[in-house]
Structure 1
Amino acid sequence: MGALKDKMILDMKLRGYSENTIELYTDCMTSLTKEYMISPLKLRPKQVYDFFIKLKENKASEAYLRIFYSAITLFYKIENKSYMTKSIHLPKRTRQIPIVMNKSEVELFLSECRSLQERTIFSTLYSSGIRGSELINLKIADIDFERKTIFISKSKTRKQRYTILSDQAANLLKNYMVTYQPKDFLFYGFRNKNSHVSMRWLQASFQRIVKRAGIKKKVQVHTFRHSFATHLMETGNNLIYIQKLLGHTFLSSTLLYLHADSSTFLKTISPLESINLKYFGSFGNQYQRSFDFST
């Protein structure tokens, strides 16, 4: 895309988009450009529509389709060509119950971290409930050991907030700072201490540890945030406090974790437990033969 990509990046920065979102949107536009091998400005609306349908037919996730739709909508809005996406309609959003790691799985995951850097990064992520994009943007000045807080200056909702810093995470961070000597960004890139680690590195590292730990659930970096919220809810923490820690604008977003909280409703006693099964007698051979599927 060249100059068009640079223009889109600049416009998104001026609008306050996060680096992670900018990367996702420009990747979407690059994939559209590669499909037709011409500038997206020279495409017809039907070509954009056809590519979107192709993504759906290739089983792209609902989340990716929404990201792609947002990317092309913003691009053509910037270029004063909003009509290019008018024929594309997204399916109604389905609110899925988040996948959550239980505490044993979190413990197993952290035990498989093979470096102080990995252990510190993922302990901080789980213990604070912050997003991956918020973690990579943390700076040394954002950590307050005395008040036991982490300051989030760059969030998805563009709202600043504080979240908690646990004692264990604080101890790891202190050791990490002594060992790795960060300058500005808390978790810096391998090639440059003045830049932060990338989301791709974070996601790849997470999946490597998941594989080593033998965790079978379909989890990702964001699962730690889901787990943080659910575990707080399971231990009886105030819903409003959890909302503020997560930085949710609407309480309805936090209420979704009530469905993942198994501390109460999944411990409900089944009505079968009040039925006396002994009155049904035992099953002899004559009953077993009735269900013999080997013949």
Structure 2
Amino acid sequence: MAQIEKFKHFLRSKRYSESTVTTYSEALKSFLVFYREKPIAEIDNEDVIIYNNEYVLKNNLSASYQNQIVNAIKLFFQTIRETKILVDKIHRPKRAKVLPNVLSKEEIKSILEAHTNLKHKTMLSLIYSCGLRRSELLNLKPVDIDSKRGIVIIRQSKGKKDRIAPLSLKILKMLREYYISYKPKIWLFEGLIAGIKYDKRSLSNVLKQALTKSRINKPVSLHWLRHSFATHLLESGTDLRYIRELLGHSSSKTTEIYTHVSTKNIQQIKSPFDNL
């Protein structure tokens, strides 16, 4: 579809990541296919509402997916000259207030110590110790580990932002052992072929293996390690402003959600049940 290809070029010119280009293009494609009998210039805001009701809701698709649809439609119709769509009037779905999943320090310790394979252990440990996203870990290069300054440099992460994270001495020692053993060429963590970035699905499998070995029966994802990092920092007294910087959040509201899962103050509250 020519319109989809044109949209992809537009997104790339705006420097959106390839994963975002793919996500938005697929979302837009489903919308345009739904209205394949209708000229694009005739599509209006009411059609967006009908699509949400007749396709998104009927197929029990998530609010997150619906939000991606909205983003894609808004961006697409900004590039169309003749349109009946009022971009600013397209409404978003009400987001569910879901708390982040957090593991205890004991569970984290168990997961990180589950592997005897040094590469596997180092990857999981670095994600937790720096609060990294999966893509951020896999995009690291050896030069991003600045041992003299005691920092890890995370380059061009979500939102095209660079940031730094503290490099713990325990992780530095582990990384040095790893580097001597594996001697990565380009990426800090590479697959079986030198110079090729470690596969993201393989990394998820590394976590699954650790969960099996540590006998943790929870649907843990790699992002849980990042959530746990933030929550454990908060519980140890780290200011939310610093946690926001470490996580690379654009808005403080995103970081504030960790106050709802921190048990530090909750545990100090005595239940009235104890006085009965």
Task: Calculate the TM-score normalised by the size of structure 1.
Answer: 0.75
Task: Classify 1:7/1:232 alpha carbon distance in 2 versus 1 (closer, same or farther; 3 Å).
Answer: same
**8 A Cα contact 1:109 1:213, kept in partner:** yes
**8 A Cα contact 1:102 1:227, kept in partner:** yes
Give, as a single letter, the amino acid of the residue that structure 2 aligns with 1:143.
I
Q: CA deviation at 1:29?
A: 4.4
Residue 172 in structure 1 maps to residue 174 in structure 2: yes
Q: CA deviation at 1:43?
A: 10
Deviations 1:270-293 (A, max 9, x none): 122223xxxxxxxxxxxxxxxxxx
| Corresponding residue of 1:247 | 248
Residue 103 in structure 1 maps to residue 105 in structure 2: yes
| Corresponding residue of 2:21 | 22
SS at match of 1:219: coil
Matches within 5 A, 1:276-291: none
Separation in 1, partners of 2:61, 2:202: 22
| Corresponding residue of 1:280 | none
Give, as a single letter, the amino acid of the residue that structure 1 aligns with 2:61.
A
* The 10-residue stretch of structure 1 (264-273 or 9-18) with the greater mean CA deviation from structure 2: 9-18
**8 A Cα contact 2:100 2:258, kept in partner:** yes
| Corresponding residue of 1:117 | 119
Larger CA Rg, structure 1 vs 2: 1
Task: Classify 1:10/1:193 alpha carbon distance in 2 versus 1 (closer, same or farther; 3 Å).
Answer: farther
Task: Classify 1:8/1:95 alpha carbon distance in 2 versus 1 (closer, same or farther; 3 Å).
Answer: same
Q: CA deviation at 1:80?
A: 4.9
Deviations 1:73-103 (A, max 9, x none): 3344345577569686322223322111111
Deviations 1:38-81 (A, max 9, x none): 9x979966877655442333332322322233234334434557
SS at match of 1:160: strand
Task: Classify 1:91/1:180 alpha carbon distance in 2 versus 1 (closer, same or farther; 3 Å).
Answer: same
Give, as a single letter, the amino acid of the residue that structure 2 aligns with 1:160.
D
Separation in 2, partners of 1:117, 1:82: 53
**8 A Cα contact 1:138 1:185, kept in partner:** yes
**8 A Cα contact 2:150 2:167, kept in partner:** yes
Deviations 1:186-223 (A, max 9, x none): 223555625x3354444454345445544343432222
Aligned CA RMSD, in angstroms, stands at: 3.5
Separation in 1, partners of 2:253, 2:155: 23
| Corresponding residue of 1:271 | 272
Deviations 1:207-260 (A, max 9, x none): 454455443434322221111010011111222222221222333322211111
Aligned residues: 273
| Corresponding residue of 2:239 | 238
SS at match of 2:165: strand
Separation in 1, partners of 2:152, 2:213: 29
Task: Calculate the TM-score normalised by the size of structure 2.
Answer: 0.80
Separation in 2, partners of 1:205, 1:81: 50
Task: Classify 1:157/1:58 alpha carbon distance in 2 versus 1 (closer, same or farther; 3 Å).
Answer: same
Separation in 1, partners of 2:139, 2:82: 33
Residue 197 in structure 1 maps to residue 198 in structure 2: yes
| Corresponding residue of 2:145 | 143
| Corresponding residue of 1:66 | 67
Separation in 1, partners of 2:19, 2:115: 24
**8 A Cα contact 2:156 2:162, kept in partner:** yes
The sequence identity of aligned pairs, in percent, is: 33
**8 A Cα contact 1:129 1:225, kept in partner:** yes
SS at match of 1:154: strand
* The 10-residue stretch of structure 1 (45-54 or 244-253) with the greater mean CA deviation from structure 2: 45-54
